[in-house]
Structure 1
Amino acid sequence: MSRLFRDVEGGPLCPQGSVVCIGAFDGLHLGHRALVHRAVERARELGVPAVALTFEPLPREFFAPAQKPPRLTLARAKFEGLRDIGIDLVGLLRFDAKLASMEAERFVREILVGRLQVREVWIGPDFRFGKGRAGDLTLLRTLGESLGFTAHAIHPVAVDGERVSSTRIREALNVGDFDSVERLLGRRYAIAGRVVRGKQLGRTLGYPTANLRYGGKRPPLQGIYATRVHGVGAHPIASVSSFGTRPTVAGVEPLLEAHLFDFDGDLYGRRIAVEFVARLRDELAFADLPALVAQMHRDAQQARDLLSTFKQQACA
């Protein structure tokens, strides 16, 4: 079972040594997975724990709060993904002013060596760390010679002739190109969370929804989608979903609302995952609720038709 730690300070966590990979891991795309798989492989060969170090919030969210990049993966989903790949210990480090100002050499000495007793460090080809992004592979290798570890970088992973990156995934999500997203992630894109209570307006309009919050992060997509909901039964349930701020009813917080077709049950408190299949349209403001309901009918029928075709393709 994977363990989680948040703090930079503290006693040794891996007395027998460890293999550590470091990165933002937003989305856990094929490039991230290649890095993590390599660290896990080396850890198993050495007989020590595999450790993934990442950050919450992401450094870019900390340094530019007014211009946060869209988040592909929330913290819990990231932890679960790293666990499923084989990571034994996840360091979800609190990225605050203290950590942002930590010199790269101190990061190595106190965290990698002091807390994790690192024997090997694995990073992506362009990874930087420490104050002013001064830390890189060269620094790791130099310090490793005196502190007793080695440092390595994996080669970039390419799909369709271009390097896999979180930026490419965000761009594809923005235009609803979920097939490209699947090629970059190695899986269909989905957002998981625990169902929360909303204003229950959808129920009064004939479209009850399972609602997921996005943790105060900036969503990577917005609009109306044909979706499938996992975690309710043995098979995913076809659905139509809205992800946005609900302008017709004066919503503010981004909310993912999934209406499950031909389903009548209480999902409050349940953890589900909403898989995105196709983009239907932008989120719009309507003059009144009847106009909104008429459009919801059209969206639902379009989603049913698309998902029927998608299911047939998946079974072919």
Structure 2
Amino acid sequence: MLRRSGYTLSMSLLFRDAAGPSLAPGGSVLCVGAFDGVHLGHRALLARVRVRAAELGMTPLAISFEPIPREFFGRGAPVPRLASVREKIGLLTEPDMRLLLLRFDAVLAAMPAEAFIEDVLVDRADAREIWIGADFRFGHSRRGDVAMLRAFGERRGFSVSVLPDIEAGGERVSSSAIRKHLAIGEFDAAARLLGRRFAIGGHVVRGQQLGRKLGYPTANIRLGRRTSPVSGIFAVRVQGIGALPLPGVASLGVRPTVNGTEPLLEAHLFDFDGDLYGRRLEVEFVQKLREEEKFSDLDTMVRQIDRDAAEARAILGLHNKNRLSGEHRDPAPFTEA
């Protein structure tokens, strides 16, 4: 079993290899794509696959890739991701859709488009209906397209349908558009295309206790190999502690004032007292306050954090308690920063 945030994923829903027995002996209705973020356009495609599979009595199946092709061909250059692999798996397999998450490596990158159709779509997935976006390309040198799929489908017994572009607020939904909104701090616009607020999740880890000493204890989440599309200081809401999200202020960056090197997400929850070590949290980004910066000393940094906390409280609709005036003191630290 594979643990996910809030649920357990049966391994019978997740497969990694291009070769192997048929995943759907009775036939599948499937979709293919990178699915970074699993945004509203992706969700429309997944919904269509589920509906058609139910109507035909077949298996609903999504085929995706990790790393995403853009990362592989970037040769180590960081690619901002809208969701971690874990989050992507969770979103693609709900409810009960099978997922073929192919390892995108040199072998798969070199696979001719014709071989991808025969070996993956026909033999491995037993495709009867394939649903894709209009700009989908596949195979070595991206030679595969809708026309090639349809020509093979006539011979191999599957149909190909193209889902029209999905728009939200008059804008075409795409992962690149969402990244652009996030890069300039337009979190409401990004949420409109994603269908939810952009968030980063992870388990709370122990830090250096600096936040405790400064009066701002934080829940620390490492990004690992994931490259975030955002950085800076933010008003946030944090899921995973109670029934409702908790408000806070967060920093995402390398912490130049204390000579940090590893990107770290540090979330300070307002008026909260509790132990969060090891707990998995989701930090939702509401509004960007400023860029990360290096301060001359810790006192200067704390004064700025005071201002950040006050601004975040106002954005989140909380009473603006002034820590410097003595009206508010944070409760006992809930984790080490």
Deviation at 1:159, TM superposition (A): 2.6
Q: Does 1:129 align with 2:138?
A: yes
Q: Does 1:18 align with 2:28?
A: yes
Deviation at 1:153, TM superposition (A): 1.0
Residue 79 of structure 1 corresponds to 89
Q: What aligned pairs does 1:211-290 form with structure 2 within 5 A after superposition?
A: 211-290=220-299
Aligned counterparts of 2:64 and 2:28: Cα–Cα separation in 1: 16
Deviation at 1:231, TM superposition (A): 0.8
CA contact (8 A) 1:156 1:164 kept: yes
Q: Does 1:56 align with 2:74?
A: no
Residue 187 of structure 1 corresponds to 196
CA contact (8 A) 1:51 1:87 kept: no
Q: Does 1:204 align with 2:217?
A: no
Structure 1 residues 200-209 or 97-106, which shifts more? 200-209
Aligned counterparts of 1:200 and 1:26: Cα–Cα separation in 2: 34
Q: Which amino acid aligns with 2:88?
A: K
CA contact (8 A) 2:183 2:230 kept: yes
Aligned counterparts of 1:309 and 1:183: Cα–Cα separation in 2: 24
Deviation at 1:309, TM superposition (A): 6.7
Residue 145 of structure 1 corresponds to 154
Residue 324 of structure 2 corresponds to none
Deviation at 1:262, TM superposition (A): 1.1
Aligned counterparts of 2:276 and 2:141: Cα–Cα separation in 1: 46
Residue 314 of structure 1 corresponds to none
Structure 1 residues 278-287 or 289-298, which shifts more? 289-298
Residue 45 of structure 1 corresponds to 55
CA contact (8 A) 1:4 1:89 kept: yes
Aligned pair partner of 2:306 in 283, 291, 297: 297
Aligned counterparts of 1:96 and 1:309: Cα–Cα separation in 2: 49
Q: Which amino acid aligns with 2:138?
A: F
Secondary structure at the counterpart of residue 26 of structure 1: coil
CA contact (8 A) 2:198 2:284 kept: yes
Structure 2: gaps of 5 or more residues: 1-8, 320-337
Report the CA distance shift for 1:192/1:122 in structure 2 as closer, same or farther (over 3 A): same
Q: Which amino acid aligns with 1:223?
A: G
Residue 28 of structure 1 corresponds to 38
CA contact (8 A) 2:187 2:287 kept: yes
Aligned counterparts of 2:53 and 2:72: Cα–Cα separation in 1: 31
CA contact (8 A) 1:69 1:218 kept: yes
Q: Does 1:175 align with 2:180?
A: no
Task: Write out the 4+ residue segments of structure 1 that deviate beyond 6 Å after TM superposition.
Answer: none
Deviation at 1:201, TM superposition (A): 1.9
Report which of the two structures shows the higher radius of gyration computed on alpha carbons. Answer: 2
Could you report, residue by residue, the CA deviation over 1:221-273 in whole angstroms, capped at 9, with x for unpaired residues? 01000000011011110110111111111222221111111112221221111
Deviation at 1:66, TM superposition (A): 4.2
Secondary structure at the counterpart of residue 65 of structure 1: coil
Q: Which amino acid aligns with 1:38?
A: R
Could you report, residue by residue, the CA deviation over 1:96-123 in whole angstroms, capped at 9, with x for unpaired residues? 1111111111111111111111111111
Secondary structure at the counterpart of residue 67 of structure 1: coil
Deviation at 1:198, TM superposition (A): 2.3
TM (normalized to structure 1)? 0.93
Q: What aligned pairs does 1:86-97 form with structure 2 within 5 A after superposition?
A: 86-97=95-106
Structure 1: gaps of 5 or more residues: 311-316
Secondary structure at the counterpart of residue 317 of structure 2: helix
RMSD: 1.6
Instruction: Count residues with an aligned counterpart.
Output: 309
Q: Which amino acid aligns with 2:46?
A: V
Identity of aligned pairs, percent? 56
Report the CA distance shift for 1:173/1:156 in structure 2 as closer, same or farther (over 3 A): same
TM (normalized to structure 2)? 0.88
Report the CA distance shift for 1:166/1:220 in structure 2 as closer, same or farther (over 3 A): same
Deviation at 1:87, TM superposition (A): 4.8
CA contact (8 A) 2:82 2:198 kept: no
Q: Which amino acid aligns with 2:43?
A: R
Aligned counterparts of 1:58 and 1:215: Cα–Cα separation in 2: 16
Could you report, residue by residue, the CA deviation over 1:179-204 in whole angstroms, capped at 9, with x for unpaired residues? 11121112222222222222232222
Deviation at 1:47, TM superposition (A): 1.3
